[in-house]
Chains A and B, each alone.
Chain A
Amino acid sequence: MEPEPIIKLENVSLWYNKGKPIEVKALKNITLDINKGDYAAFFGPSGCGKTTMLYSISGIDRFQEGKILINGRDISGLSNQELAIFRQTGIGIVFQQFNLVPSLTVLKNVSLPMLFVGISSEKADIEAAKLLKRLDMTEYADRYPFELSGGQQQRVGIARALANDPPIIIADEPLGNLDSINAKKVLEFLRELNEKDGRTIIMVTHEAWSLRDVKTIFHMKDGVITDTEHITSKKTVAESLSNHLYEQLSAVKKSDKSTGEKEDVKLEQLSAHLLSNFLLRGYSMEEIQRFEEILNELFANKITAKEFKDMINKPFKDGGVGLWKKKASSIANYLEEIITKRKDIEGIYKSLEQSKETSIFDEIHHIRDWLVQGYTGELTPWQIMALDQVISDRVRNLITAKQVPDLFDLSKNKFGVGLSFRASHLMAEKLELILDNGENSSKKEEENNNNEPSNYEEIAKDALKKL
């Protein structure tokens, strides 16, 4: 028997600011089926319409043309009350930013959606406790979101998405703010919700590696589905992605008649795309794209390995990626190995999965742990978060070496870390030792930073202006 579509889109189009000069058509005549029990992903670059797609299916974004049928019923005809019930009981959303209510405990965050549909507070708490147990979060039930790590918050986010036991789970870049270990845990859990519970999972992602368990991939670009692939056991996600990338690049080459040159699609061009997305996990799309451009230059032998390393180490504002020296070196070495061994694309994909290269979140956590070694004071979760923020901004070259101790020293109510003067300077010196960006003693920076910082936001704004 043919599986029945739980979600069916028929010629769906959605405009933002329709009729205004700034009108944008985010979804263009989309037709697709997602079967019950599928694990589907919308995959594509930022701005391709994949998130709009999710929010249209969830009944949050209202589309202007076409139909979205859930179990055969068109949701465009639903009243506001019907939509509210559908959103609360039909769909569970896992957000990239977790979106927990800061003033509620973990338990109350999970029980909240049940209260909306008339479940009593006592029953909701019992059900929420069961969900927290499933996510291995029982011991954190009475804590507040700010007391949890990113990985723990995401597990609470998943528990909350399951609150009213919805048949459809939507995950919007669910790994975006997680370190490798927690990202893997989330992927395993999504697979369990699909395989064990039989729920339909829909994920939006721009990271190829997070597609490892999906059964259907909808490739998106500029508001249209460019390709749909059903992954069978014979065909791995890696194969499927590489085929797709080959096709995409072939199409680009075919349409590029200006040069008159017939060029084969090179393995390296495909690799650059996959590698950039993987090696720079957690970085912004702009940073990843910049990295990919530089990597393509390396693969095309336009620059040397040394120049490559220097370029990715340069601040973003100067045309680089702003990677700290150690990261730049380790990436350069890793790439050299790949180039030397000339692995095929599937081999690269597999080695990426096992690579020791970690996301920026892991690195920041490691750096922070190293920095606080020997620090005898107690750090609150808030201070740890602030510390991570400063490290992250410094690693990305968004702030200067001189600003670091000031931010470490700045009081908590001004969004600093609130460390003592001595500890701030010690830690800042340690941080510069590990980063060694080669620009730390720049006189220019000193000149730019004569004024004492008044609060974190001002410093960040200043830094951003310079980009």
Chain B
Amino acid sequence: MDDKIKKIKILIVDSDEMMRIYFRDIFWIHGRSNEYEVLMASTLEEAEKIISDKNTCPDTIFLDIIMSPKKSHISAFEITRCIDFVSKIKNNKDLNQVKIILYSGHKEEALKSNLSKIGIDGFLIKGESMPKEIIAFTDKIHGTRTNN
């Protein structure tokens, strides 16, 4: 029955497995699996595959700045890749309706301003959002219910 109702597809892109599971499972834990389907990707390449398949293409992407393997901190390289990823989607007429939210612990204003210029849809600061705040934020951007 439930499968026939069109669910909102969300893609979480994060290199940290625990964070991916956490983000996905809070929708289940709070009984919202009937409305949201959360897909996960650990790299930008994996994310691109999911986006390019029309069966899995999400309505919204929650994107962290993906750190390169073996690196201990985010550098200009990762930030550039993130900006490129966003602009690629926003410049594609088949995909530019996909909402992109930067879901990251990075709060630099310069980054925010750059991403805003290329059409990013919002920012959610990781580490400052409680489970229900994440759900409420997601509800808000999709115009669905926000209870509790």
Docked-complex contact B127 and A85, CB < 8 angstroms: no
> DSSP majority for the A interface?
loop
Q: Which residue of A lies closest to B25 (CB)?
A: A85
For the complex, would chain B's binding face be called helix, strand, loop or mixed by DSSP majority? helix
The 3 closest A-B pairs by CB, nearest first: A120-B127, A90-B29, A123-B128
Given contacts A71-B29, A73-B28, A167-B29, contact A127 B130 (CB under 8 A): yes
The distance from the CB of A81 to the nearest CB of chain B, in whole angstroms, is 5
What are 28 A-B contacts defined by CB distance under 8 Å? Answer: A4-B31, A6-B31, A36-B31, A70-B28, A70-B29, A71-B31, A73-B28, A73-B33, A81-B18, A82-B25, A85-B21, A85-B22, A86-B25, A86-B29, A89-B22, A89-B25, A90-B25, A118-B18, A119-B127, A119-B128, A120-B105, A120-B127, A120-B128, A123-B130, A127-B130, A164-B130, A165-B132, A197-B148
Proximity bits, B30-48, A CB within 8 Å = 1, else 0: 1101000000000000000
State in angstroms the CA–CA spacing of A250 and B30 once bound together: 43
Q: Does A347 contact B (CB under 8 A)?
A: no
Q: How far is the CA of A197 from the CA of B132 in the complex (A)?
A: 13
- Set B28, B33, B131: member contacting A165, Cβ < 8 A: B131
Chain A interface size, under 10 / 10 to 19 / 20 to 34 / 35 or more:
20 to 34
Q: Is A438 an interface residue (CB 8 A)?
A: no
Docked pose: A165 CA to B133 CA in angstroms = 10
Contacts of B22 in A (CB 8 A): 85, 89, 117-118
**Residues 147 to 175 of chain A near chain B (Cβ within 8 Å):** 164-167
**A82, B40: Cα distance in complex, Å:** 14
Chain A residue at smallest Cβ distance from B29:
A90
Question: Residues of A contacting B126 with CB < 8 Å?
Answer: 118
Q: Does the CB pair A72–B127 fall under 8 Å?
A: no
B26: nearest residue on chain A (CB-CB)?
Answer: A89
Contact yes or no, A89 B29, CB < 8 A: yes
Say yes or no: A118-B19 contact (C-beta < 8 A), given A89-B25, A165-B130. yes
Say which residue of B21, B105, B131 sits within 8 Å of A82 (CB atoms): B21
**Could you say which of A70, A72, A85 has the most chain B C-beta atoms within 10 Å of its C-beta?**
A85
Q: How far is the CB of A129 from chain B (nearest CB, A)?
A: 13
- Cα separation A466 to B26 with both chains bound (whole Å): 53
Known contacts A81-B18, A89-B22, A167-B31, then 12 further A-B pairs from the complex at CB < 8 Å, ordered by chain A residue: A36-B31, A70-B29, A71-B28, A71-B29, A73-B28, A81-B17, A85-B21, A85-B22, A117-B22, A165-B131, A167-B29, A197-B148
Q: How far is the CA of A119 from the CA of B134 in the complex (A)?
A: 12
Binding site for A on B (CB under 8 A): 17-19, 21-22, 25-26, 28-31, 33, 105, 126-128, 130-132, 148
* Inter-subunit contact B25/A167 (CB<8 Å): no
Expressed in whole angstroms, the Cα–Cα distance for A85 and B40 within the complex equals 16
Measured in the bound complex, the distance between the Cα atoms of B30 and A36 in whole Å is 10
Nearest chain B residue, comparing its CB with the CB of A4:
B31
A198 adjacent to chain B (CB < 8 Å): yes
- Tell me which residues across on chain B come within 8 A of A165, comparing CB atoms: 130-132
Interface 0/1 of A82-116, CB less than 8 Å to B:
10111001100000000000000000000000100
Chain A contacts of B128 at CB under 8 A?
119-120, 123
Whether A81 contacts B21 by the Cβ 8 Å rule is yes
> Roughly how many angstroms separate A140 CA and B25 CA in the complex, as a whole number?
34
CB-CB under 8 A from A72, the residues of chain B are 33
Residues of B near A71 (CB, < 8 A) are 28-29, 31, 33
> Which residues in A have their C-beta under 8 angstroms from that of B127?
118-120, 123
- Distance between Cα atoms of A84 and B29 in the complex (Å): 13
Evaluate whether A85 and B148 lie within 8 angstroms (CB atoms) in the complex, with A119-B128, A123-B127 already known. Answer: no
Cβ distance B42 to chain A, nearest Cβ, rounded Å: 13
Docked Cα-Cα span, A86 to B26, in Å, equals 8
A169: min CB distance to chain B, Å: 13
A36's nearest neighbour on chain B, judged by CB, is B31
- Tell me the nearest residue of chain B to A123, going by C-beta: B128
* CB of B65, distance to nearest CB on chain A (Å): 15
Q: Which residues of A contact B17 (CB under 8 A)?
A: 81
A72 to B32, CA, bound (A): 11
CA–CA, A234 to B28, complex, Å?
Answer: 35
User: Min CB distance, B23 to chain A, in Å?
Assistant: 9
Instruction: Report A2 CB to chain B, min CB distance, Å.
Output: 13
Residues in B whose Cβ lies below 8 Å from that of A114:
130
Tell me, in angstroms, the Cα distance from A71 to B27 when the chains sit together.
Answer: 10
Given A81-B18, A85-B25, A86-B25, the answer on whether A119 and B130 have CB atoms closer than 8 Å is yes
Chain B nearest CB, measured from A160 CB (Å)? 15
CB distance from A1 to the nearest CB of B (A): 13
